[in-house]
Structure 1
């Protein structure tokens, strides 16, 4: 039986905080004048937050391939795989899609017929548009749908195993080019092909994971990689932030393809940086810190699902004001959003029956008992 990848839980925590960054800075990023001295800080944090989705996808792919790669593909394996995903991912997604849809519906106060209401709800569920973050779950569900086929390809053909990263990059940019020039779908962000490089890189890393893990944690052997990886992350973060800043200040106009190249490169490099950072920090931090990270890892899915609701409440309380009040409220909102999400999710998982309907499967109770 393969070991439980505790360091991946730490990586999930880092990715979760990235998602929190991108959402908590979104209002300040949109409403702050580019001439303001605080605007560059919003840009830096907002861009940093964009690593969340690529990292989550890479980690999800890594864990799935690590778990299933050496297992035979048969009816029992596939049935168990889909049962777990339907129960613990699809059901929470449906639950929160309905919750967010109703919240938006009542806030908008827009009169609509029952038929139109059902149509709008169905579309929001199908495309992950009930709220800004739910498109990610739609991407995950698409990945789960084709995972058995990908697993078969990797098991059957060595070519796919050896060249998974390049195949992923090629598939992603063929899709981007095709969509840009021919299909022009407005919902590109909800389609799995837009993230193929992250998914297949995760698959590649999973197959060779133990070798990679043991190499990275041996700092004497991997020091050159670590230094290059960290410097490269800082470099692409800075370059992409400058690009976004120049676009927002209208000092630069770039094509969609150029922007896609920068975003994809930044996402892929950042995801490998997060993985490297997680392996190193897992090996260095104390047992007490590990326990806290592992707990946060168990809560990360729930925090991901509920935090925009807390943020929405905070923004309803105060959405504007003097610059000092506005920027201060963004900081207060971030703190309240995190701690409220943390304690709400933890309490529900520990004390509310059938909590999986909202927050999926969690080992939080067992983890707290054994630690």
Structure 2
């Protein structure tokens, strides 16, 4: 058995992955705070509308990167350890308290909030089966599909780990296998109706397996990146990575922009494959960028800011739609175009910093805040 997988060694918090998590949560906030703008601001100037599309569509790497990061962290931490019965119990106990309980409670809160908005406080017992169905499919509110997918990947984790520990040569085949499974699931969905397809882990299996590979090989990959000497081959490789990422992102944004202004009507598979290429390259490029920031600019204000934000990402993810929903009730009517632009910018800042402040305060001063907002990762990191 490959010693790189089975020899236990202690794992510590990886600073550059905190930066990657911060990138992803900022992208999530950007997507949700500009979602209405992509529909309501079509009459604004072409440049302004393109920027809204860029801020929304260009950040669509968020969930794939979060899923990639989650599997990376799991396999970086546990890939070198024997997964015993005690480890199994400890692993799922932590996930129950850190993920499943907050997911269940927040799903109930959002579900009730939506029903109250629609029909007032006259809630009927007949709503319970509907809620349970939505809870079991990650559809109680729009952003919960991601957490539901994470739970599925946690259920899958010990089986994948055992398989790769028993057959370490399969690690190198994980990425093409994951991409093939994800593509096959998408293609199958074009011929067969798959309810809530975006809520099932197979829709994101390629990102998961990419994280598995990088997590198991992380020390080797990190050492190789840090030791790069800037030779011609290395520079060409980095130019290819960054250039490919920027080009794929721009192509994806332009595709959506032209579609939204009714210039073109592409086939649905065009969006899927363009978005997938951009997401895969985003996971790799942003991981590299986070590592470079950590190793070369770790003491800068930007890096310190991102590190402070990162531990609260899960709580921010859970809570920010509530603040955005409340803020949207204050939308100005018949205002000048520039006021709408300001309103959307303020919404982004409120969703990010307002939610961050609430989560930080609650996790520090309210003993049972973890039930709603997840665990305090700041305390865990100490």
TM-score, reference length from structure 1: 0.94
**2:13 aligns to what SS in structure 1?**
coil
CA–CA distance in structure 2, aligned partners of residues 205 and 327 of structure 1: 40
Name structure 1 gaps, 5 residues minimum. none
Cα distance, 1:320–1:120 mapped onto 2, change above 3 Å: farther
Does 1:232 find its partner at 2:244? Answer: yes
Question: Match of 1:279?
Answer: 291
Q: Say if 2:97 is the partner of 1:97.
A: no
Report the Cα distance in structure 1 between the residues aligned to 2:213 and 2:329, rounded to whole angstroms.
44
| CA distance in structure 2 between the aligned counterparts of 1:274 and 1:172, rounded to whole angstroms | 22
Equivalence for 2:214: 205
Counterpart residue number, 1:173: 183
Alignment partners' CA distance in 1, 2:154 and 2:379: 27
Q: Distance in 2 between matches of 1:319 and 1:83?
A: 46
> What's the CA shift for 1:225?
2.9
Distance (Å, rounded) in 2 between the aligned partners of 1:194 and 1:112: 37
In structure 1, the residue matched to 2:53 is: 43
2:267 matches 1:251: no
Partner of 2:73: 63
Q: Deviations over 1:206-249 (max 9, x none)?
A: 11111111222334254433322211111011100111112212
Paired residue secondary structure (1:258): helix
**Aligned-pair CA distance for 1:112:** 7.1
What is residue 338 of structure 2 aligned with on the other side? Answer: 324
After superposition, residues 59-208 of structure 1 pair within 5 angstroms as 59-109=69-119, 114-182=124-192, 184-208=193-217
Report the equivalent of 2:351.
Answer: 337
Contact 2:312 2:377 in 1 (8 A): no
CA distance 1:34–1:220, change in 2 (3 Å): farther
Contact 1:34–1:249 (Cα < 8 Å) also in 2: no
Moved more, 33-42 or 190-199: 33-42
Deviations along 1:139-182, one digit per CA (max 9) or x if unpaired, are 00010011111111211223420111100110001111112112
Cα distance in structure 2, aligned partners of 1:353 and 1:124: 29
Correspondent of 1:301 among 311, 314, 317: 314
TM-score (norm 2): 0.91
CA RMSD, 1 decimal: 1.9
Structure 2 spans left out of the alignment, 5+ residues: 1-9
Q: Which residue of 2 aligns with 1:315?
A: 328
**Greater Cα offset, 232-241 or 352-361:** 352-361
Deviation at 1:193, TM superposition (A): 0.2
SS state at 1:71 partner: coil
Provide, for residues 75-125 of structure 1, a one-character-per-residue CA deviation record: whole Å limited to 9, x for no partner: 111111111111110011112111111211111126876243112211221
> 1:50, CA displacement in angstroms?
0.5
1:10 is matched with 19
Misfit runs of 4+, over 4 Å = 110-113
